[in-house]
Structure 1
């Protein structure tokens, strides 16, 4: 369940992507909508958006009448969120060491962010710690086996696949040991006009090679053509399939 994560590299990469992030965040929105459907209703709640990015779902919670605290590793992401006035409070911080007292929130929300944890159990434990009894933790993450189209195509280049290792469903379940947690699994497949567009879409999703301190492998024209020839596609375009895990923890 543990992996070496360069948190500074993560923050820098997301900061660089922040101005145009919403243009490439289709997966995050689709995944978040499915996660939102698992949330119990409540009124006037204190909500933590942990790994808020530009605050797309912070705004959703706020529009529903809740007081939202937006937290992210990246100062630039928080700046984008604050410019859009999506929350009541903005905090720079790490999910594995949340800067909040115990039982501070009614809902802790983390959409496609916990894959940046070095130790998922620690991250989930922190979200559980700051949630009030009777509250919920709602999170989503990527499952091992995601993006098999890219992985298969990249192997034709004879280079290492520029994807971070992901946890299996069993490992995610183990990370929630001792918590009242339910997991839901689904696959979303998106299509892109070319392989380069597909690769660019990955920058904000937490699957590029940032765990090893670099974002991608250099692609010249010849290598890109080779990659596109090997990439799985249909009438919609070049495909990327995401295996997703949605988690709900009931705070007892």
Structure 2
């Protein structure tokens, strides 16, 4: 994101980008599914009210509904197109909400489990998000979160030599500061780097466009020559498995304590 864009404009851009890609999201979200799996083993055995923040097309919301069949399930996303796609695939009773993670439409102390896979990096107001998690979680309630750290998509930035055109990610210290300011207790924190491989630059670009990641890029016109030069740079990074794309993941478990 750029410093000049207003929060309202940024939210509109994120919502529009994800709405445009909603019908293709599940087919291209290989990295997002793999990263979400990092949260699954640490989830509690029971939950009464579960909220999926940044639910997208509802892949994880539906899995949470199967894991907690007696819980009230909520999915929240900023992109109306994503929620429309989620409703198409709904097989169980899930309440979908259009909204912002920094202004959750839930009563205080009403949620006992928050699941959020790769949504936090799209939020300008990290402290606002953390305060809202604290407000809406019940005592002893937990938030299980994945987000991305600087260094994510580094190969793409190197190929295009335009690191400013990709999403600007908050450093770990900023995230920890937001957690500390909210009153939430940090139960656990881990970092993982996951790498995915693609056949060519077109496949790489399709993978990030298919999950809305192009929203952080600038509006400069890209010529055929630009694409050819970027492809040549990327080829220098090729490994036997293909062209690498790295995701630096932060995995958090937060708890609301008295």
Give TM-score, length-normalised by structure 1.
Answer: 0.90
Compared CA separation, residues 206 and 16, structure 1 to 2 (3 A): closer
Quote the residue 2:90 is aligned against. 85
After TM superposition, the structure 1 = structure 2 runs for residues 32-51 of structure 1, keeping only pairs within 5 Å, are 32-43=36-47, 45-51=48-54
Verify the 8 A CA contact 2:208 2:214 in the aligned structure 1.
Answer: yes
Verify the 8 A CA contact 1:143 1:243 in the aligned structure 2.
Answer: yes
Structure 2 residue 12 is matched with structure 1 residue 21: no
Q: Mind listing any 5+ residue stretches in structure 2 that lack a counterpart?
A: none
RMSD, aligned CA: 2.0
- Separation in 1, partners of 2:136, 2:35: 24
**Partner-residue secondary structure (3-state), 1:202:** helix
How far did residue 176 of structure 1 move? 0.6
After TM superposition, the structure 1 = structure 2 runs for residues 159-198 of structure 1, keeping only pairs within 5 Å, are 159=162, 161-177=164-180, 178-181=183-186, 182-198=188-204
Compared CA separation, residues 166 and 219, structure 1 to 2 (3 A): same
Higher helix proportion (structure 1 or 2): 2
Residue 141 of structure 2 is aligned with which of 132, 135, 155?
Answer: 135
How far did residue 38 of structure 1 move? 2.0
- Separation in 2, partners of 1:241, 1:17: 21
Quote the residue 1:229 is aligned against. 232
How far did residue 206 of structure 1 move? 5.8
CA shift digits 1:173-200 (9 cap, x unpaired)? 1111132113210000001111121122
Quote the residue 1:57 is aligned against. 60
Structure 2 residue 256 is matched with structure 1 residue 248: no
How far did residue 71 of structure 1 move? 0.8
Aligned length: 244
Q: Mind listing any 5+ residue stretches in structure 1 that lack a counterpart?
A: none
How far did residue 91 of structure 1 move? 0.8
Quote the residue 2:74 is aligned against. 69
Structure 2 residue 150 is matched with structure 1 residue 150: no
